[in-house]
Structure 1
């Protein structure tokens, strides 16, 4: 398959691919619908990062190793990413409102169960179920938004607000997680419950009813091969350090995972209603956006995972101290994201993504070289936190805009689901590799007890390399234009 180098206009904003039409009056009901969708988007993003702060406390109380702890994050991320594309398709077939409300109910119940259980396996299972629910709420929320708000200024404005809440959810999880963990790690699981119930009640009243599609079908085989292949690949990466990379079971698991993922692509070429129309991957800008989101989320969540354990388990920081220490990143994302749309209009998505990944790479490099067993916050940590906040704020909206730019309205859901899937599954794989590197050679209960900064060095090298590879992918078209101006 050949990837085209043709790139849509890089100066477009997220909604600029559709022709503007008559503006739409923003009634109280419309504001209410948008508030419900933004709240759910915020909770979906928040849950990826918030629980990470509580991992040391969870590990201590439930006796879980670092390898087991990362499954609390990856269980959610894999459930979320593995079924995102199927979630959007299900909403089209069964009705967006119905799927959204059912999935939100499951999300609330799984949150409640996760905050009450005393068993690590059950906790991980509740996280996976919660991720599955989010895989249906996220794309359904997007489709409800695009069908409720008319094309043009109203939809563009709604999408801008929606994106800000999504980015803020991912970035503010560390801060909220630190505050809640200070009161007890279970609150990081229980906090979303009342907000999910509130969104459920409001959504039942405000979200307009819609009809299910008359035609179409599910790609059950495609969904099964994708989810099972990704789960097996991540499990193999996580378990390989203890078992041995050359162990026959490790090699066999890798081979089976590769076969399942290859089967997914074969299935997508043959079924009548595929999860992914593979020809969309011939558009170079879309492919680069999906690779960029892997670099952004994979490095960001993995760095967060290491910082959580390093600051609390190695340096002895309290969850509240860590939340305050990382607060600048959340502030930058929350207050900077609303202005990214204007920057995209002025400079284009490609240049904004380059700036984002450059900022992230510099943040990782700074901590890699300035970090130590007793790092000075102002010198070693704060510059990295600021650079990561800037990178995430610039990158999230820009990548989402590029991933859907130039795509026909009939495939906006596919393009949006594809980039969200890349973000979640890519983050899960990078996190699994990072965890394997950090815990390599450790045999303690937590995997890093009594360790120092050196224990995290290889993990930091990995996340830096991932960010730099994403930067290289994004900048490659511009380099080709410079080297071959004709």
Structure 2
């Protein structure tokens, strides 16, 4: 394994020896901790997807203007995406069990406070803080899963379960939000607090003390390795990029509010890459050899398509059902339930048939083709009214979600395992940034394509064209993956991968 890493430009794992507190736990205790990790992943992803249904009632309750409605979702998604690598670095430099529990408990507290907010600006600020706390739980969870299950095949299965929790949140959270909207959006946040509280207590008492990768470094040296300069550049780059695409649907693609932030963010990206290369080895946010990691570019391209596919499917369909067809929020959520059921079935199958994840060369292009088929069914559904729901929407959700789950779990697992152990938290963060950026671009393009119809949600022509776009993009990334991905370059999966 170490020889393989050296040949690929990755640094050898300096701590891959002996055992650790997590891998030595009894199976029952491991299962409880894995459940806690999966729950945190579910809640973090639900923080975005549930907002699709809750945006309108939150805006009405807090007096948010139509022009500012995008910030109800944007304040969370921007902070979440922009601070992922920073949180990953924290989980690699400090004991991940502490990073995780602080984030998880803090999330419960802030969700409860948010549920009582009556001022829109206080809501925006607290949503940003909750996103910052939520993001702490992702890379720390990944770090501990990697340590807890050192055997590569089993590790891949557990990472697949972790990824499945996030994918399930994309649909089940819509149903949860729809149920609580029967009372108030505030009860959704209170319910999440009620769920988190006991599990955070379980995690606190059942989680042994874990060692950070940089356990023996003094505090001043850890701060140097935080790469705060790189963190600042990356946060500015991602915030401006997401801000620009968020404003595009409001102010237009020719507006300064779209062009200026995106142009600056595009300039900052090479600045960040150069900065990282200039940092001494071990002090940079990303490994110096990250762009030489096996198959990293086809993995990134394929990963960029999947949140785009899911976000565009769910947001537009949920909105159309409510605005154009007059469905209630709960009925719209129920009509999207086939996506959740399919996600659960396919995620379970990935445990019984691990080759769906571990043999991506041909599986991923087939999965991309399923997503394409789902997009085409959505495109020609005319919005899914009446019998068209069963002919097109229902079928499209099942076929597309089956492919989407395989793409999501496969890319999440493959990218994490492409990174060396000392960057385990960073690897998970890197994957999630690609997912989030793809989703933001997809939603912005979908909003822009409304203008190809009469500019309203009720006219399906603009939505139809958006599904042509998302379907074509994921099909293209699948074909590129088929040609570019080389199984012979994939990291070896023999021997333990575990931190001491």
Tell me the TM-score range normalised by the shorter chain. 0.7 to 0.9
Q: Does structure 1 residue 321 correspond to structure 2 residue 331?
A: yes
| Cα distance change of structure 1 residues 258 and 150 upon mapping to structure 2, 3 Å threshold | closer
* Higher deviation after alignment, 339-348 or 133-142: 339-348
Q: Does structure 1 residue 467 correspond to structure 2 residue 453?
A: no
| Cα distance change of structure 1 residues 143 and 250 upon mapping to structure 2, 3 Å threshold | closer
| Cα distance change of structure 1 residues 177 and 371 upon mapping to structure 2, 3 Å threshold | same
Say if 1:84 and 1:135, in contact at 8 Å, map to a contact too.
yes
CA distance in 1, matches of 2:68, 2:285: 31
Q: Which residue of 2 aligns with 1:259?
A: 267
| Cα distance change of structure 1 residues 357 and 59 upon mapping to structure 2, 3 Å threshold | farther
Q: Which residue of 2 aligns with 1:15?
A: none
Shift of 1:334: 1.0
CA distance in 1, matches of 2:186, 2:61: 11
Shift of 1:58: 2.7
Say if 2:298 and 2:485, in contact at 8 Å, map to a contact too.
no
Q: How many residues align?
A: 460
CA distance in 1, matches of 2:436, 2:467: 20
- Secondary structure (helix, strand or coil) at the match of 2:182 reads helix
* Higher deviation after alignment, 258-267 or 280-289: 280-289
Question: Deviations for 1:327-386, whole angstroms, at most 9, x for unmatched residues?
Answer: 111111112212124544278113222122211111111111222484521123111211
Question: Deviations for 1:9-62, whole angstroms, at most 9, x for unmatched residues?
Answer: xxxxxxxxx99x999673443333222222212212222212212223334444
* Higher deviation after alignment, 197-206 or 374-383: 374-383
| Cα distance change of structure 1 residues 441 and 247 upon mapping to structure 2, 3 Å threshold | farther
| Cα distance change of structure 1 residues 88 and 300 upon mapping to structure 2, 3 Å threshold | same
Gaps of 5+ in 2: 1-6, 9-15, 489-500
Gaps of 5+ in 1: 1-6, 9-17, 482-486
Q: TM-score, normalised by structure 1?
A: 0.84
Say if 2:160 and 2:350, in contact at 8 Å, map to a contact too.
no
Superposition RMSD on alpha carbons, in Å? 3.3
| Cα distance change of structure 1 residues 478 and 29 upon mapping to structure 2, 3 Å threshold | closer
| Cα distance change of structure 1 residues 406 and 372 upon mapping to structure 2, 3 Å threshold | closer
Q: Does structure 1 residue 401 correspond to structure 2 residue 408?
A: no
Shift of 1:176: 2.1
Q: Which residue of 1 aligns with 2:442?
A: 430
Q: Does structure 1 residue 331 correspond to structure 2 residue 352?
A: no
CA distance in 1, matches of 2:461, 2:315: 16
User: Any residues of structure 2 matched to 1:241-390 within 5 Å, and which?
Assistant: 243=251, 245-247=253-255, 250-272=258-280, 273-283=283-293, 285-345=295-355, 348-372=359-383, 374=385, 376-390=388-402
Shift of 1:401: 2.9
Question: Deviations for 1:466-486, whole angstroms, at most 9, x for unmatched residues?
Answer: 32332233233379x9xxxxx
Say if 1:368 and 1:461, in contact at 8 Å, map to a contact too.
yes
| Cα distance change of structure 1 residues 178 and 244 upon mapping to structure 2, 3 Å threshold | closer
| Cα distance change of structure 1 residues 364 and 160 upon mapping to structure 2, 3 Å threshold | closer
Say if 1:50 and 1:174, in contact at 8 Å, map to a contact too.
yes
Shift of 1:393: 2.4
* Higher deviation after alignment, 228-237 or 402-411: 402-411
| Cα distance change of structure 1 residues 115 and 458 upon mapping to structure 2, 3 Å threshold | farther
Alignment equivalent of 1:214, drawn from 213, 216, 231: 216
